[in-house]
Amino acid sequence: MATTYYTTDAIVKARLNEIATGTLTDSNIQDNIEMAEGMIDCVMRTSFKTTFDATKHGLIREAATSLATFMCLVHDAETNFNSASSAALTADLLWSSSDRALSILADQNVVTYLQGL
């Protein structure tokens, strides 16, 4: 069975390139995606890897993309920002987006609903 990811390195890379420049490779980005997805599966207490559909499960995709992008920014020492305050603001916004999505996905009623789609 092929592995399905909640987001892709292309999506995360596009979001990263909108924010700053860095030196992460596709492999580095994929590692961060896998960490983010592991956290999401833990929060939901289940996995959607076999049934994931980006059209139906957009909240999961957004959570994975925001969290993976946050992890990439935090773990890439070569990320170039215009200023330290810009870096802090960007990281804060990405974390806030991730935290909100994770909070929603922690609700078992939401997970049950997503499973029924």
Helix ranges restricted to H, 1-117: 9-19, 26-44, 58-75, 84-105, 108-116
pLDDT of residue 3: 58
**Mean pLDDT along residues 41-55:** 94
- The CA–CA distances, whole Å, from 106 to 40, 72, 74, 77, 89 equal 9, 23, 24, 31, 25
pLDDT tens-place string over residues 6-17: 999 999 988 887
Instruction: Please say whether the beta carbons of 65 and 7 come within 8 A.
Output: yes
Q: What is the pTM of this model?
A: 0.88
The band of 23, judged by pLDDT with boundaries at 50, 70 and 90, is: confident
pLDDT tens track for 54-108: 999 999 999 999 999 999 888 876 666 767 787 788 889 999 999 999 999 999 9
The span from the CA of 98 to the CA of 108, in Å, is 18
